[in-house]
Amino acid sequence: MYTIKETLAELENEKTEIENKIELVKSFDKLTTADFTEEVYHDFCKTTLRGGDILGEKLASVFPFLVLQKGRSNYSEYAFDFKDLKDNKYFNIRVTIPCYAVTAIEIEIHKKKSFFTFQNDVEIIEKKIEELEKVLTYSFFQRVEWCGKGFRKWYRPIHYIFKHNKKELNNKIVTAIKEEKEHLKNAKARKLKNEIVSREFQRLTDKIVAEYVPQFLEWTKVVTVNAAYDRQRYTK
């Protein structure tokens, strides 16, 4: 339990803190971008300006290459877009600056789209085509063995004679090869698109790290980049 003296001391502390906040808010419009340090920004976050567009726009003025994202909740963080790095159908790019006690800036490049492929997809299809093309050159006995997989050895010739003939088998193999070549064409196209997207992902990441991270580090001590090389942390 507090004594009268201790309670008065606590209230005096709160009074001083409130008076300091009042003076801080009064100085808002007079603050230059040089005055608006990370520490000062977080002091404003302790007032009811936290999360409002007024404080977000002031923050954006420190970084003229950023644009404040409006129409979203900013209570935990402000989000910004780069002026010269626009979102597209493959990537979302955003910068966030927290409104709570954490002093840092985070940059995230989110890859929205990729083209599904199985691992070694192209190699698997190429091998399948190669094997099918070999079948076209098989002798009678090789065809018997190939068509009779899964049957007892003595039954394989009977199965081949009654169920297959060379012309019919060749037509089926040629059709299968055409289908696999179409699959191969599509797989190569998907692989190429993924490679292009991955290169662009790395290019964007490298550009941000080289051009923007140093500028952010003039204002904050920590910048994290969550992009092509997973999460990387940069400090002064």
Kind of pairing, strands 105-111 and 91-98? antiparallel
pLDDT score, position 80: 96
Q: Please count the other Cβ atoms lying within 10 Å of the Cβ belonging to residue 107.
A: 23
How many whole angstroms from its chain centre is CA 210? 19
State mean pLDDT over 112-124: 74
Residue 97: pLDDT band (50, 70, 90) is very high
CA distance 140 to 235: 72
Contact 182, 190 (CB under 8 A): no
- Asked whether residue 115 carries a pLDDT value surpassing 70, the answer given is no
Among 58-67, 100-109, 152-161, the range scoring the smallest mean pLDDT is: 152-161
**Strand intervals (E) in the chain:** 66-68, 77-82, 91-98, 105-111, 222-227, 230-235
Label residue 83 by pLDDT band (50, 70, 90). Answer: very high
Q: Does 180 score more than 70 pLDDT?
A: yes
Q: Is the pLDDT at 9 greater than 90, yes or no?
A: no
Which pair of structure tokens corresponds to residue 19?
A: 């008076």
Strand-pair partners of 105: 223
Q: The pTM is what?
A: 0.73
In what side-by-side order are the strands of the sheet with 222-227?
A: 66-68, 77-82, 91-98, 105-111, 222-227, 230-235
Q: What is the DSSP letter of 143?
A: H
Of 16-25, 58-67, 175-184, 212-221, the poorest mean pLDDT is in: 16-25
Tokens matching residue 18: 């409130």
Q: Mutual orientation of helices 140-147 and 156-163 as an angle, nearest 10°?
A: 100
CA distance 199 to 168: 47
The pLDDT confidence band at residue 116, using thresholds 50, 70 and 90, is low
